[in-house]
Structure 1
Amino acid sequence: MNQIFARFQNVEGMNAKSNVIVSLLWLFFLTLTATITTAIWIENPLLLYSLIAFLTVEIVTIISVYIYFALKNPDCLRSETFTLNKMAIEKGHIGDNGVGMVENRPTPTETPVIIGGQNG
């Protein structure tokens, strides 16, 4: 049972993209599902019109938040993986050495290691 919950804790294998808009989109699609379900099975026009109004407010909010962050802080619209890679490059943990790409060429005294074969 613990293995099942352990998979949900690690979203790395799911290629999850996390940014500012994702939580708003989850709310939108949940409300959209509720609206469609209400329109099909429940005959209460007040509830249906309330959900449609809420969907309209959500759409306006999502567009407004997108425009705001596109102008003020575009990094918030990028995925978490992109942001972490960008920070690693800025701090010098990955990337080049400032002059060009770092190349690890063996010196003439080193013997190159061949993986899966025999060193000669």
Structure 2
Amino acid sequence: MTRVSNTDQVLILLRAQLQRAERQRRREAGSASAGRTAGAGPLRRLQALVGEGALSDEDLPRALVTALLAEDFGAGLVNESKFQELVDQVGDLIERDATCSALLRACVAAIRSGAQQQERP
């Protein structure tokens, strides 16, 4: 039997979140109504921040990981040092796993392209 550590569990949860985000992005890309902003989730908020130039390309992956973890664990924990340590650990794990890293880059690219589409009249 394989032992699953806490970091493995977090990585599994994050991978599932990223896959759901990618599926949602694909559904939204196929829908005709691009102007929906009600009930903005983490991806919409990140797109808005990127569109305003508030997040650099280097900060965006960490912001995405933070938003996804905050969605699962609660936004009230975001400023806690333990939460930030978790974000760092998850970011390191993602970078070490080729599949997760590629998925994160795809999500970041989708956020960038979504923000660019919102800027166009």
TM-score, normalised to structure 1's length? 0.29
Larger proportion of helix: 2
Greater C-alpha Rg: 1
Query: Relative contact order (C-alpha < 8 Å, sep 6+): which is higher?
Result: 2
